[in-house]
Each structure stands twice: as structure tokens, then as C-alpha cells.
Chain A
Amino acid sequence: MIYLVWVPLLTPFLAVPAARRVAAALAPRHAAWLLTAVALVLAASSSAALALLVVPGASYLPVVAVLGELLEPLKAGPPAVAVALAPVAGSLLVWRTGVLAVAAHRGRAELRRARAAAGGTAGELAVLRDSRPDAYALPGRPGRIVVTTGMLRALEPAEREALFAHERAHLRGRHHLFLTAVELAAHCHPALRALCEPLRYALERTADEAAAAAVGDRRLAARAIGRAALAGREDRDRARPRAVLAATAGPVPRRVAALLGGSGGASGPGLPSRTGRLIAGALLCCVVLSGATAVGAANDLHDHIEIAQGESAAD
């Protein structure tokens, strides 16, 4: 049935909040995988659904009919609806593709800038002479740790080791691939945008746990993060005024609290097991439904095309 095609477009609105809840209850590494997988399936299904909405309406165009060897337009729903939907879905699809391309380009440009800033260091560590504390993992072959002198001076030697271990975990885990995948998926469906922030958090927590394990001291890792963040703030306050954000706890205090709490597991407050299982079940249903309906709708459309081409839909 043609109505199937709407399911993948609507499931993200249910699946995304569920995924966020489930991810918060999982160990950070698992949460990262879950969020990425959910984002990719939902993005693919909803994009496919949009494409499927274009086809029936487009079959009324003579050019399409000739190219597709169609004897008549597809009978996949009322003609008025099909014809009205096609341009809407089509322009949405084109717009999203454009946004996706721009985002991909911007990501590449950012990496290029970062590589240029890091220069041609031979080693793992690229140091930038800059009093503003900053540090990040620069993906590539091999990946680099980029850090400013401001950051190095803000930390004690042992804390620097925690920072390096954190960035090494990002590089080894190829975390930038997760980030890029979900960032691009978010351009395919507006609801998926809400997966980016929890993914970032899950990846930071994964790296934090790796750092704590590498230096063998959770408190030391927590202190490194805390001190780095506070140093950045003091510096920034001097440099330029900044809009005060919402008064909810940002990711840094949550990360520090998670390390000091010593769990190493869940990245947030755990769900009560019964509700948790319900939400996880709902999420699974949404994702499977989204994928299955996209495939089902594609099959459906294929049958309609064969009929329109004059073949029998006997099988």
C-alpha cells in the first residue's frame, strides 16, 4: 500500500527521543554505536521514502513515461495526490541533497584548515603557539593530537598525559567517522539533529574512560578535563564577551561527575529496568518498522511500475 511510504518519514520523531533515553542508560561506547546505527537507518529510510513519493507523480510526465517504458502512469494512489506530492517530495529531496553536499564540503574544509594549522609535524603531537587553551584530535593517517601551548601550560604533566590518552582514544576509535555519519544523517531528516549532541557526549565519555584507564586514576582524568575547561573559560572571558547559555548542566560537568562517580558504565542516570526495556523495545520497533516499510514501499512501487509497463503482476 502506498501509505507505507509515510512511516519512515514519521518514525524518527518517535525513535529519536527513545534512542536518546536508551543511549543515556548504556555504556558510552555502546551508546555511540547505537546512536550512529539509529541515525543511519532512519536517514536512509526517510530519504528512500521521499524518493518513492516522487516516482508515482513523475510517471505522469511524458519524458519519464518514455524513459521508464511506461504504458500508463502508475496507479499507486489517487492521481491528484500523486501529482501534488511529487514536486514537494522532489524539491525536499533536492534541497536535502544540497544541504548534505554543503555540509560534507564544510567538514572537509574544516579538516583541511586543521591540517594546515597543525603543519607537517613528524610526531604524534602538534603544538600550536597560542595562549588560548585548545586541544583536539585531528583525524588522518596517522592521526595527530593538536594542542596549544596555552593548554599545555594550564595542565600538570600527569594531566597532560590524561589529555593525550583521551585524544588517542578518539583517534584509535576513529570517532570522527561516527561524528561525520550522524552529522550528515541529521541533514536527511530534521528530527535526527537531536542525535548529534548525545553522540558527541558518548564519544567524549568513551575517550574519558580510556584516558582514566590509561593513567590509572579516574580522579586525575576528571581534574584534567575540569582544569582544561576552566582555563579556557578564564581566557575567553578576557578575550571576548559571550552570550550566557541556558542554565542546564553542560557536557563538561557531566563528564567530570561521571568520572568522579566512578561508574565507568552508564553515561547518565539509568532507566528503571521495566521502563527502560519498554523504551528500548519501542526504539527497536521504530527502527525495524522504518527500514521494513521503506523496503516494503519500494517493493510496492516496483510492482506498480511493472503493471504500468504492461507486465502482469501475477507473481
Chain B
Amino acid sequence: MGDESAERRPAGELEAGVLAALWAADGPLTPGQVQGALGTRLARTTIATILSRLYEKGTVTRARSGRGYAYTPTEDAPGLTARRMHSELAKDEDRSAVLARFVSQLNDEDERLLRSLLDGGEPRTDDRTGGVGSLDGPDGGRAG
């Protein structure tokens, strides 16, 4: 990703990435750890600012950790209802009228095709992650 441009992106968009990193982690993260997990050149102070803004909004909670804070995401919706609603939505995934899902269901042929597309054609070598060799182990490339 264009790391230099990362600083120039709207604050809201940066928030999403930072929040996602907290959710993907197994425990509380300090700004430095978020920076490591994101693997971007986003300045630590920027991340700290974003985290404190998220804290003010109540999106994350924090606890003292050394000289700073470690942050944990808070559950948005009252858990149980939200989960039930989501289960209902997930059930008729392919019949949704208004929700544009990121990916639709795959059949066997799709899966085979997709794997060969992602594994096969490695047209360029400038990919910093080394292609998609770690397809089955998504954590392979994660820093931290």
C-alpha cells in the first residue's frame, strides 16, 4: 500500500484500519503494537491520536500498560440481539435484495478456479508479501 499517502487519507478511513487491527488481535494492543500489526509507516503518534479518539467515542476501552495505554475494542451492539439478527441475515446470504456482500458463495468449481488464479499466475515479482503462498494461513504474513 502507498504508505506515504496513508497519512493524507481522511481520519475516518484510518480509524477503520486501526479498529480492525484491534479486533483481529487476541488481546489489548498498545499504539506501538497496532503500528506493528498494521505494518504501515503510519506514525505511532498518529495511531495514538486515532486510538484516543476511538476511546472518546466509546468504541474502544483502555487500560494502563507501562507508560501508555493498551486498547481493546468494545462490543458495538448489545451482543445477543445483534448476533441473532446477523445469523438471520447470514442465512439467506445469496437472496439479499439490498446488501452488497463482499463475496458470494463459491461452488467446488469456483474454489478450484480461484485457487489456481491466486496461486498460479504470479506475473510480477515486486509483491512485498511474496504472492499468495500463505493462502491457507492468513496469519502467515501478519507482523507482530
A interface residue numbers (CB < 8 A to B): 103, 106-107, 110-111, 113-114, 116-130, 132, 134-139, 145, 147-149, 151-158, 160-161, 163-164, 166-168, 170, 175-176, 179-180, 183, 200, 203-204, 207, 215-217, 219-220, 222-223, 225-233, 236, 242, 244-253, 256-257, 260
Contacts and interface: CB of A to CB of B under 8 A. Distances in A.
Nearest to B111: A233
A128 B104 CA distance: 18
Contacts of A183: 97-98
A116 B16 contact: no
A113 B88 contact: yes
B37 interface: yes
A256 B119 CA distance: 12
B106 A232 contact: yes
A219 B38 CA distance: 19
28 contacts: A107-B98, A110-B89, A110-B99, A111-B98, A117-B85, A123-B54, A129-B79, A130-B90, A134-B90, A135-B102, A136-B96, A136-B102, A139-B98, A147-B20, A151-B102, A153-B138, A158-B39, A166-B102, A176-B99, A207-B100, A225-B102, A227-B132, A227-B135, A229-B104, A247-B107, A250-B109, A251-B104, A252-B110
B80 to A, nearest CB: 11
Interface in B9-43: 12-13, 15-17, 19-21, 23-24, 37-40
A264 B79 CA distance: 40
Contacts of A130: 83, 86, 90
Contact of B103 (A121, A216, A228): A228
Given A134-B90, A136-B101, A158-B1, A128 B83 contact: yes
A135 to B, nearest CB: 4
Contact of A227 (B2, B90, B97, B138): B138
B16 A164 contact: yes
Interface in B107-127: 107-111, 113-115, 117-118, 121, 123-124, 127
Given A134-B101, A225-B102, A253-B113, 12 more contacts: A121-B77, A126-B77, A127-B19, A129-B75, A219-B123, A226-B132, A228-B102, A244-B108, A249-B110, A250-B109, A256-B114, A256-B118
Nearest to A203: B100
Given A149-B23, A230-B115, A256-B117, A118 B103 contact: no
Counting chain A CB atoms within 10 Å of each CB, the highest count among B76, B82, B142 belongs to B76
A242 B78 CA distance: 31
Chain B interface extent, by class = 35 or more
Given A156-B129, A232-B106, A249-B110, A121 B59 contact: yes
Contacts of B93: 134
Q: What 3 A-B pairs have minimum CB-CB distances, sorted nearest first?
A: A119-B77, A117-B85, A119-B76
A158 B142 CA distance: 10
Contacts of B98: 107, 110-111, 139, 176, 179-180, 183
B114 A229 contact: yes
B124 A219 contact: yes
Given A152-B24, A157-B39, A116 B82 contact: yes
Nearest to A183: B97
Given A124-B15, A153-B24, A157-B142, A180 B97 contact: yes
B6 to A, nearest CB: 9
A106 B106 CA distance: 25
B59 A257 contact: no
Contacts of B82: 116-119, 128
B76 A121 contact: yes
Contact of A223 (B13, B21, B108, B118): B118
Contacts of B39: 157-158
Contact of A168 (B13, B23, B123): B13
